[in-house]
Amino acid sequence: MPFDEKSLSEAYGIGGVLGRDELFDGHYHRSWKVTTETGAYALKQMRPPVARVETKLAMAWAMADRGLPVPRPRRAAHGRYVWIDGDSEHYLVEWAEGEHRRAGTLTLSQAESYGAAMAGLHREMDAGFLDAGSLGRYRRSPIAVEDALAQLDRFAGVIDAKDVADDFDALAREVIGRKRELLHRFASHRPVAPARREEGLLHGDFLSQNLLWQGDRVAAVIDWDRLQYGPVSHEVARTCTVDFGMNSPGDRLDLDSVTAFVRGYHSVRPLDPEDLAFAVAHEWWEGLTHFWMLVFHFDRAKYDCDLFFAPEARFCDWWCENLEAVQEAFADGIA
């Protein structure tokens, strides 16, 4: 049993548990719909624990109190939001009605509404009613070519040292060779940040699996435990990259959907062209130089993301061959 129902009921004062349904068996965390005598809730398990989660949930509570489409977290009996059960941390929020939609199924009009929804939240979070100083900041700079090449050499050494190579090792060796070629080819393309970047509060994981739709509007944004402070254009670029690229069929970006999303965002909260162009270039460079799946597989012996490795490599190849077209798609959204 992933959590003790009686302990959960006592911790949050929600009455007896009448039913539980697992919502998503994620690669990092798990969550359930919990129906109780006092209503329905969503319970999220965090393993490993999330940094500063109490502060983030307090901010989510403030957003809900302001009327934003954010499910309200519930405080436990001891006054904190997080409940510890064994070696796992959990938090509980009020149940939000709506349906999940994969970004690849959205019409262009819905993609535009998606961008407008993000912009509306960013604009409200700019209002200054939250203390951003207590949050973590997004500080990742573009990785140097020599550092990325050294990482590839290290992983190649790990594979070479194995007595017996498996299918993933063979695939990794091939991808490592291709990434080396691309890094040498694009060594002069490392992005340079503009002198000024517009920063604000970010959801931190603003993706289609964390949105609930009712009709053609976004009714709720969930999972606020990655709330952070950083460049606003970064969240725009990342959402488009993941939802209209990595999470869509074909291992390529849906450029029309990207333009629609950015257009919707820009109509509500204008974006700076230079800042956005850097954020897009940074996302591309991350895919070329940041090898988190190899870290998970070889350094941490975590294999549940292996299935994404080949599609991610193909997506990176496609982007390298379409740099100008991708930048134009984003720029067209703010033209």
In the block, residue with structure tokens 């539980």: 20
Task: Specify the pairing of strand 211-214 against strand 17-25.
Answer: unpaired
Q: Which residue has the higher pLDDT, 258 or 304?
A: 258
Positions of CATH 3.30.200.20 in the chain: 18-94
Q: Is residue 136 predicted with pLDDT exceeding 60?
A: yes
Comparing 62-66, 247-251, 263-267, the range with the smallest average pLDDT is 247-251
- pLDDT interval class at 134 (50, 70, 90): low
pLDDT at position 46 is 83
- pLDDT interval class at 126 (50, 70, 90): confident
Q: Which residue has the higher pLDDT, 8 or 47?
A: 8
Distance from C-alpha of 154 to C-alpha of 273, rounded to nearest angstrom: 38
% of the chain with per-residue pLDDT over 70? 95
pLDDT at position 218 is 92
Q: What global pTM score does this model have?
A: 0.92
Instruction: Name the phi and psi angles at 196, rounded to 5.
Output: -130, 135
pLDDT at position 1 is 56
Positions of CATH 1.10.510.10 in the chain: 103-141+189-332
As assigned by CATH, the class of the 103-141+189-332 domain is mainly alpha
Instruction: Name the phi and psi angles at 160, rounded to 5.
Output: -60, -30
Pick from 46, 51, 35: nearest CA to 91: 46
Fold classification of 18-94 is Phosphorylase Kinase; domain 1 (3.30.200)
Q: Is residue 127 predicted with pLDDT exceeding 80?
A: no
Count the Cβ atoms, other than its own, within 10 Å of residue 314: 15
List the structure tokens of 220.
């709720």
Cross-strand pairs, 22 = 32
CA distances from 158 to 154, 161, 172, 202, 297 (A): 6, 5, 11, 37, 11
Contact 239, 123 (CB under 8 A): no
Q: Is residue 130 predicted with pLDDT exceeding 60?
A: no
Q: Is residue 30 predicted with pLDDT exceeding 70?
A: yes
The pLDDT mean for the chain works out to 92
